[in-house]
Structure 1
Amino acid sequence: MSSSPHIRSKITSSNIMLLVVVALLPSAAFGVWNFGLPALIMLISTTVSAVLTEYIYEKLMHKKVTINDFSAVVTGLLLGLNMPATAPWWMGALGSVFGILIVKQLFGGLGQNFMNPALGARCFLLISFTGPMTRFIYDGVTGPTPLALLKGGEAVDTMDMLIGTVPGTIGETSVIAIIIGAILLILTGVIDLRIPGTYIVSFVLFVGIFGQFTEASVGLFDPQYITAHLCGGGLMLGAWFMATDYVTAPITKKGQYVYGALLGILTGLFRLFGGSAEGVSYAIIIGNLLVPLIERVTLPKPFGKGGEK
């Protein structure tokens, strides 16, 4: 035990993770309603596989079993929400094993992973199984996502994108469901607006300025174009639920603003000028890797150290 003073709090890791699970339920429920039984099977597959992988690994390594902190549940649920409902269930299970075993446990477990396990798993699956991970079927029709249409200069229905009745991954389509969960996290103090707010504002500025130079041929700060980008893809899910991950986000206040701005710029860069219509996952992972540098340059001086000479 270190010397006093000590700060006592009733907040625990399990409390926080359980609140995140509850906040993700609206997106999960809408995803199941929107995509049917395959979405439910995928969510169960990724979540159960994540919990089992953590339990088996910790048992084999004679470590304390930590599945009751709900962090594995959050990882599995987030990965499931980032999966197409059309992908086979075993693919989601494989992703959960990768995320928990490779990204999380082999680096020391909760608090030691250098990137978000769910996003690490999703990128692993995108690289390994590009076809199934980018194939979307909605109402029995295979077609591109609204972001892909937007990138090609075609018109999209932003109201459908806001509600979520469009092709996409299980949990990314309904902005309304995501915002309901985000409001819960804000009201309970689990997250604040620094990272997601800066992320979204910087993304809007980037898309508003540089969107006119893309195939879409829009004007400067075109409202419909910006709204479509905000409602499309994994931006909202990533900004509120993955960029705010305690372990992989900066702890300094200035660093959180820098981190959010970096994510917004990277996402805009990937979406507008990259080969893919999406870019949230890669933007957050790159941001995770740069967090140590961000914290190093934004760390406040200890009290009494004085100014720089």
Structure 2
Amino acid sequence: SFPAYMTHWVAPSPIAEHSLGLLESIKVIFGGSLMEHDLFDSMTMATPLDSIKTGLTQHKTIDEIRSGAVFGSLGGVGWEWVANWYALGGFYLLYKRVISWRIPVALILALGVPAGIFYLSNPDHFASPVFHIFSGGAILGAFFIATDPVSGSATPRGRVIFGAGVGLLTFIIRTWGGYPDAIAFSVLLMNMATPLIDHYTKPRVFGQRGHHG
């Protein structure tokens, strides 16, 4: 273990190169930078889904929230292009028959249809289905997470139910839950239901009669 490092504040490397005087320390605290020409390594901000949820709690409309700089034409600025590339990769997996089409299609429909219904009923309070699909991890989850062959359903009908369950849970948690995005939680919840889904959607063996046959 490293008790000294764990119990002391460690200065960032540009500041640790030399000791700071009183005036330099004040400059760092109030100016935010030691050097005049320092560059940013990164910037952090709320995600588009988080901005929507926070804005709705402040009694703003969807149009007022989406007027912010973080939003683009489909989802968030930059996020929508990431979703497009994820979709392109997903289509390639479908073309190569690495994954089945049932889970992605069922997931996107189960997310988009209820989102569209609520959006049409009250567009000031509910985000559009296009925004739901192109924001967060919806496309990533539809093609690369929910289609996991080990934890997902193995039957054709079960895959439809599994994908639809993930999409519907994602919409419910995003809209009324406390978490902005919900793909991970939805996939985990449906993974727990996979054995039950496979049990009731197991294809009948050829030549096998029903219980009353």
TM-score band, normalised by the shorter chain?
Answer: 0.5 to 0.7
Equivalent residue letter for 2:50: A
Q: For residue 294 of structure 1, what is the aligned residue in structure 2?
A: 197
* Cα distance in 1 between the residues matched to 2:144 and 2:95: 14
Q: 1:228 aligns with which of 101, 118, 131?
A: 131
Q: Larger % of helix: which?
A: 1
**Residue 144 in structure 1 maps to residue 58 in structure 2:** no
Shift in alpha-carbon separation, 1:270–1:212, aligned structure 2, 3 A: farther
Q: Secondary structure at the match of 1:233?
A: coil
Q: 1:272 to 1:212 in 2, by over 3 A?
A: farther
1:159 partnered with 2:73:
yes
Q: Which amino acid aligns with 1:305?
A: Q
- Cα displacement (A) at 1:283: 0.1
1:207 matched residue in structure 2: 115
Match of 1:280 in 2: 183
User: With structure 1 as the length reference, what TM-score do the two structures score?
Assistant: 0.47
Work out which of the two has the higher radius of gyration on C-alpha atoms and give 1 or 2: 2
Deviations 1:247-304 (CA, angstroms, capped at 9, x unpaired):
0111110101111111111101100000111100000011111100000010122122
Of all paired residues, the percent bearing the same amino acid is: 30
* Equivalent AA in structure 1 for residue 73 of structure 2: M
Which residue in 1 is equivalent to 2:20?
Answer: none
* Cα distance change, pair 215–183 in 1 and its aligned pair in 2 (3 A): closer
The correspondence of residues 19-168 of structure 1 with structure 2, limited to 5 A, is 140-151=42-53, 152=55, 153=62, 154-155=65-66, 157-159=71-73, 161=75, 165-166=78-79
What amino acid is aligned across from residue 78 of structure 2 in structure 1? T
- 1:159 partner amino acid: S
Write the distance in 2 (CA, Å) between the matches of 1:160 and 1:216.
Answer: 17
Q: For 1:281 and 1:211, how far apart are their aligned partners in 2?
A: 24
Distance 1:139 1:231 in 2: 26
| 8 Å contact kept, 1:255–1:298 | yes
In 1, Cα distance between equivalents of 2:41 and 2:122:
30
Is the contact made by 1:214 and 1:273 (CA closer than 8 Å) also made in structure 2? no
- Corresponding position of 1:122: none
Matched, 1:174 2:82: yes
1:188 is matched with: 96
Contact 2:99 2:147 in 1 (8 A): yes
> What letter matches 2:52 in structure 1?
L
Aligned-partner SS, 2:91 = helix
Deviations 1:199-256 (A, max 9, x none): 00011112122357889524xxxxx721111111011101100100010111110101
The alignment of Structure 1 onto Structure 2 pairs a total of residues equal to 161
CA distance in 2, matches of 1:235, 1:274: 16
Counterpart secondary structure, 2:194: helix
Structure 1: which 5+ runs fail to align? 1-137, 167-171, 219-223
Equivalent position amino acid for 1:293 in 2: L
Question: Does the CA contact (< 8 Å) of 1:158 and 1:231 recur in 2?
Answer: no
Residue 177 of structure 1: how far off its partner (Å): 1.3
Q: Is residue 143 of structure 2 the alignment partner of residue 240 of structure 1?
A: yes
Shift in CA distance, 253/259, structure 1 to aligned 2, threshold 3 Å:
same
Aligned to 1:198: 106
User: What 5-or-longer segments of structure 2 have no aligned partner?
Assistant: 1-39, 56-61
- Give the partner amino acid of 1:197: V
Q: Which residue of 2 aligns with 1:269?
A: 172
